[in-house]
Amino acid sequence: MEFDWSTTGNEVVKAFKNQVTGKTFLITGPTPGGIGAETAISLAAADPKHLILAGRSQAKIQPLINEINKAHAHVKTSFIQLDLASQTSVRQAAKHVKDLLGDDQIDVLILNAAIMACPYALTEDGIESQFGTNHIGHFLFGNLLLKDGLPRSRVVVVSSAASVRKFEVLEPHLKDVTYNHGKCYDPLIAYCLSKACNVLYAKRLSKILNHKNISAFSLHPGSIATNLQGYITEEMRNQGIAAFKEEDPAFVVPKRKDLQQGCATQLRAALDPSLESHSGAYLDDCQVSEPAVHKPAEAHMDEVWELSEKLVGEKFDF
């Protein structure tokens, strides 16, 4: 089938059913009403062996587990408590995943959770909350799982079109992940930086995991109305559009997708065997995309990796 803006998650899963049946998937941030939950629902229809759903609160994720259990009682679903804003929680979650799996592995790890444009706050580890949650939390969680040899074939990092910014606008903030204790904090810039680092994380993983035959991808799921945008005001939205148009006069405000269309791109990144030769790629509208600003940003890939190691207090060499 042809994949494009309108492709749905169910269509992708149907096309690659053999890549789902009998496989184990771990998804972070599968809150009902979001694309993580929609991804899990689409996968459940194709008889996966095990869906591991990692989120901050079981009470929030339980309705999704109930929905999957009702429709597909034979699909094993498990909850893992994971607060990406707490490195202690991340380390505990990685250990719990290892214990839960036993001798099994994760076929596809989908790092989907995020917060967006929220008021200034620091994580318990003293890092601006968007950078600490969206990038550092996933960097630590993904790397701990990889260190234990748990992901078998793919790591999918859900980024955003917010990553398509000139990195020289974002890079200065890597020098101070507290944003001068909030004095120079811009919620949209902070979100863009976290999402640009998601892309660089996936690109770096693709290089260092190549010898293990593990692919890594990042992606923009599209513009989807979910609770992720809860802090976005009309003023912030207009400010963001103006910033994008200033950097790229050809920028066009993306058309809204529904949840099924919104989960399709990460499902193609997770499942399509033909993408294996494109490890490290960024996908948009279910297609490999190469935004012009991503290439020069790659020069900062090692800088971001080394800063991330410093912030989590651990070096990772796979």
Active site residues: 185
The answer to whether 268 and 275 have CB atoms below 8 angstroms apart is yes
> What one-character-per-residue DSSP string does 176-220 give?
-TTTTTTTT--HHHHHHHHHHHHHHHHHHHHHHSGGGT-EEEEEE
284 forms bridges with which residues in the sheet? 220, 287
How far is residue 231's CA from residue 119's CA, in Å, rounded to a whole number? 8
How far is residue 313's CA from residue 308's CA, in Å, rounded to a whole number? 8
Residue 95 three-state SS: helix
Residue type (1 letter), 219: L
Quote the tokens at residue 254.
């993306």
How far is residue 274's CA from residue 288's CA, in Å, rounded to a whole number? 11
Residues ≥6 apart with Cβ < 8 Å to 317: 208
